[in-house]
């Protein structure tokens, strides 16, 4: 974690690549360019398609020369594969009804966008909206297809412990992978190894699940999934 008065810099030289492209691109960003009514305790997050040697971020009020202090933090997941997400924590509270300018610079890319704050702080925690696939119509045919936990707002993820148990609540040690959609609202959990019991409980521990304003996901999101015995041996 590095704190500078003008720019925040993150070294990514030793992180593994996540895409087979040599041209850095911004896949998604929050706040989106031109966003209005941004919460006063919001943060800034960009998803890059590839890791870079260094990343610089600079924030200031539109029309003002002086930059504001920000802290850059790398965002990673439990599978360690998403290294293109960069999170900037704004060290001072944003001012209400104010337009800000943010510039990100990596080798081969420089981009600037504006956003405007509202008057309120975001104090609402993220909530689990749904889980896909649904077992409402019967057992799931493929236990190794991704299970998607859909939230009602974008997430900032540091780590997501995935808890597995059988129908009797006994802990399982199957390997899993976790990924986050580009719009940051869908957490996908995929089982990488078997065996799978006829009743499988997949839980997301609340620790590490935050929204972009730092509000934590409160309860453990538990979902019991009924799996057909024929699909419970292992991934194809």
C-alpha 227/C-alpha 143 separation (Å) is 6
Of 30, 53, 58, 50, which is closest to residue 42 (Cα–Cα)?
30
In a domain, 142, yes or no: yes
Residue 180 CA neighbour count, 13 Å, CB half: 29
Same domain, 107 and 146: no
For 12, which DSSP code? -
> Are 145 and 92 within one domain?
no
Residue 219 placed within a domain: yes
CA–CA separation, 76 and 103 (whole Å): 22
Residue 35 and residue 82 share a domain: yes
Pair 109, 145 in one domain: no
Q: How many domains does the chain have?
A: 2
Asked whether residue 122 is domain-assigned, the answer is: no
Peptide bond into 31 cis (omega under 30): yes
- Rounded CA-CA distance 226/129 in Å is 20
Count of Cβ atoms closer than 10 Å to residue 139 Cβ: 15
Residue span of the structural domain in which 80 resides? 2-117
CB 2 within 8 A of CB 8: yes
Q: Are 10 and 49 in a shared domain?
A: yes
Please state, in angstroms and rounded to a whole number, the distance separating the CA atoms of residues 173 and 164.
Answer: 7
Q: What is the pLDDT of residue 182?
A: 79
Q: Domain ends where: 117, 140, 155?
A: 117
Domain finish residue from 60, 91, 117: 117
d(CA 157, CA 136): 29
Which of 94, 117, 140 is the last residue in one of the domains?
A: 117
In a domain, 91, yes or no: yes
Looking at the structure, tell me whether residues 136 and 107 fall in a common domain: no
Asked whether residue 236 is domain-assigned, the answer is no
- pLDDT of 37: 95
98 Cβ partners below 8 Å, 6+ apart? 61, 116, 117
38 domain-assigned: yes
Residues 6+ apart with CB under 8 A from 72: 1, 2, 8, 9, 10, 55, 57, 86, 87, 88, 89
Question: Are residues 66 and 60 in contact, defined by beta-carbon separation less than 8 angstroms?
Answer: yes
Residue 4: predicted pLDDT: 37
Overall residue count recorded for the chain in this entry: 236
The CA distance from 126 to 14, in Å, is 32
Which residue ranges in the chain fall short of pLDDT 50? Answer: 1-20, 77-82, 229-233, 235
pTM for the complete prediction?
Answer: 0.71
Residue 8's pLDDT is 42
51 in Cβ contact with 17 (< 8 Å): yes
Q: How far apart are CA 1 and CA 4, in angstroms?
A: 10
Contacts (Cβ under 8 Å, ≥6 apart) of 100: 59, 60, 61, 62, 94, 114, 115, 116, 117
Residue 32 lies inside a defined structural domain of this protein: yes
Q: What is the CATH number of the domain that holds 225?
A: 2.60.40.1220
């Amino acid at each position: 974690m590095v704190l500078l008065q003008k720019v925040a810099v993150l070294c990514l030289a030793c992180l593994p690549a996540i895409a087979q492209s040599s041209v850095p691109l911004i896949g998604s960003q929050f706040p989106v360019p031109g966003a209005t009514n941004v919460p006063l305790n919001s943060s800034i997050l960009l998803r890059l398609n590839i890791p870079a040697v260094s990343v610089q971020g600079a924030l200031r009020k539109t029309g003002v020369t002086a930059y504001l202090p920000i802290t850059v933090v790398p965002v990673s997941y439990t599978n360690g594969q998403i290294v293109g997400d960069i999170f900037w924590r704004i060290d001072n509270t944003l001012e209400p009804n104010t337009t800000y300018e943010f510039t990100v610079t990596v080798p081969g890319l420089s981009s600037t966008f504006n956003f405007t704050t509202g008057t309120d702080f975001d104090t609402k925690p993220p909530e689990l909206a749904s889980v896909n696939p649904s077992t409402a119509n019967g057992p799931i045919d493929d236990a190794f297809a991704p299970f998607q936990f859909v939230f009602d707002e974008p997430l900032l993820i540091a780590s997501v412990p995935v808890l597995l148990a059988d129908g009797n609540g006994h802990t399982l040690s199957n390997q899993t992978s976790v990924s986050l959609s580009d719009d940051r609202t869908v957490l996908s959990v995929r089982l990488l190894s078997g065996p799978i019991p006829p009743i499988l409980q997949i839980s997301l521990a609340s620790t590490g699940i935050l929204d972009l304003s730092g509000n934590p996901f409160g309860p453990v999101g538990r979902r019991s999934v009924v799996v057909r015995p024929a699909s419970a041996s292992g991934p194809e």
